[in-house]
C-alpha cells in the first residue's frame, strides 16, 4: 500500500511536469511577441502546480508518519 | 514564435469569444472548486472509514482516513489544475493576427500538434461573416471566412467577437496594402507572381 501511494504521487507529479513543460514550450514558441498576458498565465499555472504538489507531498509524508 | 517582419505592423489580434472559454472550462472549473471545498470540509471534519470499507479493505485501517482522503483529493486537484491550463492554453494560443501585409492563423490542435498558416492580403478574394444561433447573436460572436487564391482556400476565424467589425478591419488592411503596393508600382498579378504564384512560404503545418 505504501508503494502504491508513492507510485500514484510519482505518476501525478510526472503528468503535471510533462504537461507544464509542453504548455510552457508552446507559449514560449508561439505566443505573440510582447504578449504580457501569456506570462501571467504561465506564472499562475506554475505557482498552482507547485502549491498542489507540495500539499500532496505533505499529506503523503503525514500518511507515513 | 510568430515572426513579424520589420516593416509589418500588427493591426488586430483576435481570439475566440470568452464565452467559448467559459463553456469549455465550466465542468473542470466547478469540479476543481468542489474538490477544494471537499478538502476544506475533510480537513476540519473528523471521520473514520465506514464499516464496509474497513471489512473489505482492512489494510487501510493503518492509515488515517482523513489524511488519505486529503491526499487523494489533492492529487485529483493537481491533475484537474493541469487539465484546466491545457484548455486555457488551447484557447489562448488559437489566435488570428491581422497585420499590414497578411493574416496569420495559429492553432494548438492538441498538446503535440500545432498549425501555423498565413495568407497575404493580395490573395484575399472574399470575406464572409456567419453568425448563427441565439447565443452567438446575443453575445455577438461568429465565424469569419476568408476565401483565398491559394492552397488553403478557406481561412476561417471561428467564434470571434464582433466579426463584422473584423471584416471591416481586414478590408481596410487589404486596401491599404494594395495602395502601398501600387505606389511601389506593383499590381496584384505581380504580387502573386512575386510569391511564387502558389503557396505562400509561411503556410506550413507544424506537428510534434
CATH number of the domain within which B117 lies: 2.30.29
In a domain, residue B101? The reply is yes
* Residue A58 domain boundaries: 2-64
A27-36, B39-48, B72-81, B191-200: which has the minimum mean pLDDT? B191-200
Q: Which three cell numbers stand for residue B52?
A: 464496509
B33/B25 Cα distance (integer angstroms): 12
Question: Nearest CA of chain B to the CA of A7: how many Å?
Answer: 12
B101/B124 Cα distance (integer angstroms): 11
Same domain for B199 and B104?
A: yes
Q: Strands (DSSP E) along chain B, which ranges?
A: 10-15, 95-99, 102-110, 113-120, 124-130, 141-148, 154-161, 204-207
N-to-C CA span, chain B: 15
> Closest residue of B to A6, CA-based?
B71
pLDDT tier for residue A14 given thresholds of 50, 70 and 90:
very high
B78/B37 Cα distance (integer angstroms): 14
Question: Nearest CA of chain B to the CA of A28: how many Å?
Answer: 7
Interface confidence, given as ipTM, is 0.90
* Residue B192 domain boundaries: 10-16+94-207
Q: Which residue has the cell 508518519?
A: A65
Same domain for B86 and B130?
A: no
**What residues in chain B have their Cβ under 8 A from chain A's Cβ atoms?**
1-2, 4, 10, 13, 59-60, 62-64, 67-68, 70-71, 74-75, 77-79, 81-82, 85-86, 88-89, 92-93, 95, 97, 106, 108, 111-112, 114, 116
How far is CA B95 from its chain centroid?
Answer: 6
Across the interface, do B71 and A56 touch by the CB < 8 Å criterion? yes
The pLDDT of residue A49 is above 90: yes
Q: Which three cell numbers stand for residue B38?
A: 471537499
The pLDDT of residue B116 is above 90: no
Q: Which of B1, B13, B74 sits opposite A52 (nearest CB)?
A: B74
Q: What is the pTM of this model?
A: 0.80
Q: Which residue has the cell 502504491?
A: A4
In a domain, residue B1? The reply is no
Laid out side by side, the sheet with B141-148 consists of B124-130, B141-148, B154-161
Give tens-digit pLDDT for B142-152. 999 998 876 65
B157/B142 Cα distance (integer angstroms): 8
Q: Which of A15, A27, A48 sits opposite B79 (nearest CB)?
A: A15
- Mean pLDDT value of segment B176-190: 80
CA angle B197/B174/B106 to nearest 5° reads 75
In a domain, residue B2? The reply is no
Same domain for B73 and B132?
A: no
Amino acid at each position: 500500500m505504501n508503494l502504491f501511494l508513492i507510485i500514484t504521487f510519482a505518476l501525478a507529479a510526472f503528468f503535471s511536469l510533462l504537461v507544464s513543460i509542453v504548455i510552457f514550450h508552446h507559449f514560449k514558441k508561439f505566443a505573440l511577441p510582447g504578449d504580457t498576458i501569456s506570462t501571467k498565465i504561465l506564472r499562475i499555472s506554475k505557482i498552482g502546480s507547485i502549491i498542489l504538489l507540495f500539499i500532496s507531498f505533505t499529506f503523503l509524508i503525514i500518511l507515513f508518519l | 514564435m510568430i515572426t513579424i517582419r520589420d516593416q509589418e505592423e500588427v493591426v488586430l489580434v483576435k481570439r475566440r469569444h470568452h464565452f467559448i472559454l467559459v463553456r469549455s472550462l465550466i465542468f473542470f472549473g466547478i469540479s476543481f472548486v468542489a474538490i477544494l471545498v471537499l478538502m476544506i470540509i475533510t480537513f476540519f471534519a473528523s471521520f473514520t472509514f465506514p464499516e464496509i470499507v474497513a471489512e473489505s479493505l482492512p489494510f487501510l485501517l493503518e492509515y488515517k482516513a482523513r489524511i488519505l482522503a486529503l491526499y487523494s483529493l489533492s492529487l485529483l486537484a493537481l491533475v484537474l489544475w493541469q487539465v484546466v491550463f491545457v484548455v486555457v492554453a488551447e484557447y489562448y494560443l488559437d489566435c488570428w493576427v491581422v497585420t499590414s501585409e497578411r493574416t496569420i492563423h495559429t492553432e494548438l490542435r492538441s498538446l503535440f500538434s500545432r498549425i501555423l498558416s498565413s495568407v497575404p492580403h493580395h490573395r484575399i478574394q472574399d470575406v464572409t461573416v456567419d453568425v448563427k444561433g441565439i447565443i452567438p447573436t446575443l453575445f455577438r460572436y461568429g465565424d469569419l471566412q476568408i476565401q483565398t487564391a491559394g492552397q488553403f482556400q478557406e481561412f476561417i476565424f471561428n467564434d470571434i467577437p464582433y466579426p463584422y467589425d473584423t471584416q471591416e478591419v481586414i478590408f481596410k488592411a487589404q486596401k491599404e496594402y494594395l495602395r502601398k503596393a501600387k505606389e511601389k508600382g506593383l499590381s496584384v498579378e505581380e504580387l502573386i507572381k512575386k510569391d511564387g504564384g502558389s503557396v505562400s512560404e509561411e503556410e506550413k503545418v507544424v506537428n510534434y
